[in-house]
Amino acid sequence: MILSRFARSVTKKAKSEIRAAKKEVTTVSEKEKKIAKALAEATKALPDEKKEYLLGYAEGVAAMVGKTSRDGADGDQYAS
């Protein structure tokens, strides 16, 4: 009986997390698809150091977007 309550509790939590994850799904515009495709093709020709640079840049941008959305700030303090 205790185990079944625990299982129901875990199942409810998992379903809640799945619903939350589905809400976070965003659509990708055609322009974004074109950019991603071009970057994927370009990285094939790049040396490993440049690939690491691009990856670091993209991860940094993603981290800043995540930080600004949590802080509620626009994060554009260095824009001209």
Q: What pTM was computed for the model?
A: 0.48
Q: Can you give the pLDDT of all 80 residues of the chain as single tens digits?
A: 555 665 566 667 777 777 766 666 678 889 999 999 999 999 999 999 999 999 999 999 988 887 765 555 554 544 44
Q: Domain spans of the chain?
A: 46-72
Question: Cα–Cα distance between 71 and 65 in angstroms, integer?
Answer: 10
Contact 43, 54 (CB under 8 A): yes
